[in-house]
Structures are given as structure tokens and as C-alpha cells.
Amino acid sequence: MKKSPAVFIFPLALMSLLLGIVAGWQRVSWDIPMINLAGDHGALMTGSFMGTLICLERSINHPRKWWRILPFINGLSFILFLVHQPQLAFLLLIAGSVGLLLLLGLDFRTSPNLSHPILIMGAFAWLTGNLVLFNQHAYPSAVKWWMLFLLWTIFGERLKSSMMLPGSRIKKFTLYFIIAINFIGAIAPFHWYGNEINAVSLILISVWFYTFDRSRFTLRLSRQDRYSAILIMTGYAWLIVAACWMLFWPDGVYAYDATLHSFFLGFVFSMVFAHIPIMFPAIFKINISLYHPSLFLVYAIFQASLIVRIAGDALLQTGMRKWGAIINGVSVLLFFAAIVTILVSRIIQKKRMSVLETKEFVNDVNTELVFKTDY
């Protein structure tokens, strides 16, 4: 069986994730010896990990195979962060975001649909955030663009699925209206109520998807469909939580932590957990299911730890925040460890079944030949 290029690219994303989690633990004051990456936590998680994962998904099945170098270049950024060359790492992330923007633009030309402009807006937001960080090295200025990158990317991907639902004028009008509000909130300065407008748009996006996303119907199904639907609906709930923090508790270090992690962990990683079991067979080019009931346990640990962390922010309890962060990171790593274990075990199982079927076929043929000879 021919190996997918994802076998060589995905480890770059995993290493970025591991370093990003360690950097996150350092940011909440855990003493991690040997490396100090606390300042680059956001770039590692959003750019080196999520950016590589998204570039990999978009390029792996593209007819022009040379596009597969895009996630590889982007994924190498974690090495430059590791050796404390952040400016060079930012250049690789800029290259990755430019490449993703071009790739999505080409896809839109060949197969235009409603989701593509939103995906392109997401790639443009990622590029903008990377350029801001490269020029100013100001994470708070870059973060709002990274939020738009992941929001619009998830928005576009879910829209592709939701378009399977019956369309209507109200559905399309409200979609355009919400996108316009979200964009205004992104570019408006905070003293012009940009933060409040952005928060309202997040709530509207959640309500829109709760209304139109087909996942609310697949909740009634079983196994993989139900698992993904529950996590997707949970993600929309965390998006509302993030918006409420932006509206009612906009100031302070704890409020900032709660807002970002309600969004990036609660919303984004709920979506990641939901889509990885579906995405991996496609990018690794294998026809197997990666769903296993144990994934629900990992999901529960992750959600519980995030609630503890956000509660610690709300109550100004540093200890709760720190321990919530530790278990957050462990549960994310546990999820990917579970996925890789399921993937490897089912590949081995499939190969064994193939060998057994081959042996049975040979035995049947030999038996038939013996019977015919005797006859």
C-alpha cells in the first residue's frame, strides 16, 4: 500500500502541538525546564499546528501534487521557534498563509460555491495576523485576526455541510448579514465598540448554525455521526461563552485568558475533535473508521478541564486556572494518542484480514482443483 505524504507532514503538526501545549503551561506559571516558549504559545498553536493541519487538508488531494509542500513549509516553523528564531518562524507562517490564500483562490475558480469566499476570507485573516506579528511583535493585535482565521475557516467548512439542508432567502440573507457584522467588528477599533460588535456577531453565528447546521439532526444517529454532532454543538456553545466574556467582562488578564480559551479551546478544539476521525482517513488515504467509544471519555475530560480553567478565571483562582490548563493539554495529547492508536491498530487489523482472506481464497482454489482432479 502506497504511503500518503501526510505520514511525513502530520508529525510536524504534532510536534507543533506538543510545543504549543508546553508553552501554554509556561504561560500559566508552570515551571517547565530546558525550553522557554511561553511567548510563542499563540503562534505555535494557531499557525504551526492549526495552520499546518488546515494546509494539509486542503492540499493533500489536490491534482497538482506540488501543493503538498505548503503544509511542510508551514510545519517547519516549529523548529525555528524551538531554536529561538521567531522572526524566521513568522516568515514561514507568512509563506504558509500566502500559499493557502492562493490555493483557495484557485479552488474557487475551478469550483465556485458559497463557502469558498468565506474560506478565502479566513486565509486572508491568517495572513494579516501573521504580518501584524512580524512587523509589530504584538500578540494582542494579531490574535483578533487569528480568531477570524479559524472562525471563518470553520464557518466555511461547516457551510459546505449545511448547504445540504434546504436553502431559503432568509437563510442566505441572515448569512450575509452576520458576515458583514463580523467583519465590521473585526476592523472597528475597540473605542468604536469593535469588541461589542464582534461579540454580538459570534452569538449570531452560533444561533445561525444551531438553526441550520445538519448536525442537530445527526444527534439522533449513532456512533461516528452522533459523536461528531455532540462535539460540534458543544463548540457552538463555547463560541457563545467567548462572546459573553467579550461583552460583559472585557478587561483584565483573567478575562482575556477566559475569552481566548473559550474560543480557541472550547470552540476550535471541539471542532478539531469532531472532524479528525473523519478527516484522517481522507488525508491518509485509507478506508477505515476512526471512531471508538473511548473518544467520548477524552472529550469529557477535555470539557471538564476547560470548565475548571474558565471557572478559575471567573473566580480569580490561579490554582484552578493552572490545573485546568494542565489537564487541558494532557487531554488534547491523549486525544491524538488515541486517534493514532486506533489508526495503527485498524490498519494492522485490516492487513491481517486481507492476509486471511487471501489464504482462504487460495485454500478454496486448491480444494476446487483437487476435487476436479479426483473427479
Q: Answer yes or no: is 270 within a domain.
A: no
Q: Answer yes or no: is 56 within a domain.
A: yes
Sign (positive/negative) of CA torsion 278, 280, 286, 291? Answer: negative
CA–CA distance, 193 with 335 (Å, rounded to integer): 38
Minimum mean pLDDT range among 45-49, 63-67, 157-161: 157-161
- Grid cell in block for residue 297: 471519555
- Grid cell in block for residue 195: 469588541
Residue found under cell 501545549: 21
Q: How many structural domains comprise the chain?
A: 1
- Grid cell in block for residue 308: 475548571
Contacts of 292 (CB under 8 A, 6+ apart): 338, 342
Asked whether the beta carbons of 309 and 31 are under 8 A apart, the reply is no
The residue type of 8 is: F
Supply the pLDDT for residue 357: 56
Tell me the per-residue pLDDT of 89-146, one tens digit each, with 9 for 90 and over.
Answer: 999 999 999 999 999 998 888 777 778 888 999 999 999 999 999 998 888 889 989 9
Q: Return the higher-pLDDT residue of 169 and 24.
A: 24
Residues above pLDDT 90, as percent of the chain: 50
CA–CA distance, 207 with 213 (Å, rounded to integer): 10
Q: Answer yes or no: is 80 within a domain.
A: yes
Contacts of 300 (CB under 8 A, 6+ apart): none
Asked whether the beta carbons of 247 and 199 are under 8 A apart, the reply is yes
The mean pLDDT of 353-365, rounded to a whole number, is 58
Q: Residue 113, SS3? A: coil
Q: Answer yes or no: is 220 within a domain.
A: no
CA–CA distance, 40 with 22 (Å, rounded to integer): 10
pTM (two decimals): 0.89
The mean pLDDT of 165-178, rounded to a whole number, is 75
Does the pLDDT at position 78 exceed 90? yes
Does the pLDDT at position 76 exceed 90? yes
Q: Answer yes or no: is 186 within a domain.
A: no
Minimum mean pLDDT range among 33-42, 45-54, 260-269: 33-42
Q: Answer yes or no: is 301 within a domain.
A: no
Does the pLDDT at position 321 exceed 60? yes
The angle, 0 to 180 degrees and rounded to 10, between the axes of the packed helices 223-248 and 194-212 is 160
Q: Answer yes or no: is 169 within a domain.
A: no
Domain range enclosing 160 = 1-164
The average confidence (pLDDT) of the chain is 86
Q: Return the higher-pLDDT residue of 302 and 185.
A: 302
Does the pLDDT at position 192 exceed 80? no
Q: Return the higher-pLDDT residue of 51 and 168.
A: 51
Does the pLDDT at position 79 exceed 70? yes
What does 70-82 look like in DSSP terms, one character per residue?
HHHHHHTHHHHHH
The mean pLDDT of 353-374, rounded to a whole number, is 56
Tell me the per-residue pLDDT of 21-42, one tens digit each, with 9 for 90 and over.
Answer: 999 999 988 887 768 888 899 9
Tell me the per-residue pLDDT of 203-230, one tens digit each, with 9 for 90 and over.
Answer: 999 998 888 887 877 777 778 888 999 9
The mean pLDDT of 258-274, rounded to a whole number, is 95
Residue found under cell 503538498: 68
What does 132-195 look like in DSSP terms, one character per residue?
HHHHH--HHHHHHHHHHHHHHHHHHHHHHHHTTSPP-HHHHHHHHHHHHHHHHHHHS-GGGTHH
Q: Answer yes or no: is 298 within a domain.
A: no
Sign (positive/negative) of CA torsion 269, 270, 271, 276? Answer: positive
Asked whether the beta carbons of 117 and 96 are under 8 A apart, the reply is no
